[in-house]
Structure 1
Amino acid sequence: MFVDLLIGGIFAMSLLPLTTGYCAYSYGRSFWLWFALGVFLPIVSYFILFALILRQQLDHGQRLLTEAKAILAEAEEAERVQREER
């Protein structure tokens, strides 16, 4: 019974750092840095990351840059596929 509680506690304590790390990685930030911050400052790091992502999404120039990168990546992928077909 103690082992079950220990495993459940470890899982519960690692859920927020894993979420923080994944969100950071999804937006081009370091997974391990934000995972470590999530371990030592669980709630604080989550709200700081949320504020950084929100600021990035509200910045019109950054949003246009992100869209341009996605369009460029799609064009490069289409060109690569077209070259392989030849």
Structure 2
Amino acid sequence: MFVDLVVAGMFAMLLVPLITGYCAYSYGRSFWLWFALGLVLPIVSYFVLFAFILRQQLDHGQRLLNEAKALLAEAEEAEREVK
């Protein structure tokens, strides 16, 4: 019973850092840096990362750059399938 509580507590403590690290990695930032920040400042790091991502998404030039990268990736994938 005690082991189950310890495992559940560890999972609960690592949930926010894992989510923060995954979100950071999916937007091109360092997983381990944001995971560590999530361990030290769990709620604060999540909101800071959210602010960075929001600022990036609201920037029209960055959005166009992301769309261009996606189009290039699709074209490269289509070229590989043809060969």
Structure 2 equivalent of residue 20 of structure 1: 20
Counterpart-to-counterpart distance in 1, 2:47 and 2:74 = 32
Whole-angstrom distance in 1 between the partners of 2:12 and 2:46: 15
**Aligned counterparts of 2:46 and 2:27: Cα–Cα separation in 1:** 14
- Cα distance in 1, alignment partners of residues 73 and 21 from structure 2: 24
Alignment of 1:30-69 (within 5 A): 30-69=30-69
Match in the other structure for 2:76: 76
Return the letter of the residue paired with 2:48. Answer: I
User: What's the counterpart of residue 10 of structure 1?
Assistant: 10
- Using structure 1 for the length normalisation, give the TM-score: 0.94
Q: Following the alignment from structure 2 to structure 1, what is the Cα–Cα distance between the partners of residues 56 and 65?
A: 11
How far, CA to CA, are the matches of 1:78 and 1:17 in structure 2?
36
C-alpha distance in 1, partners of 2:68/2:40? 36
Query: What is the TM-score with the length of structure 2 in the denominator?
Result: 0.97
**RMSD after superposition:** 0.6
| Residue-pair matches, total | 83
Which is higher, the Rg of structure 1 or of structure 2? 1
Q: Alignment partner of 1:68: what SS?
A: helix
What amino acid is aligned across from residue 39 of structure 1 in structure 2?
L
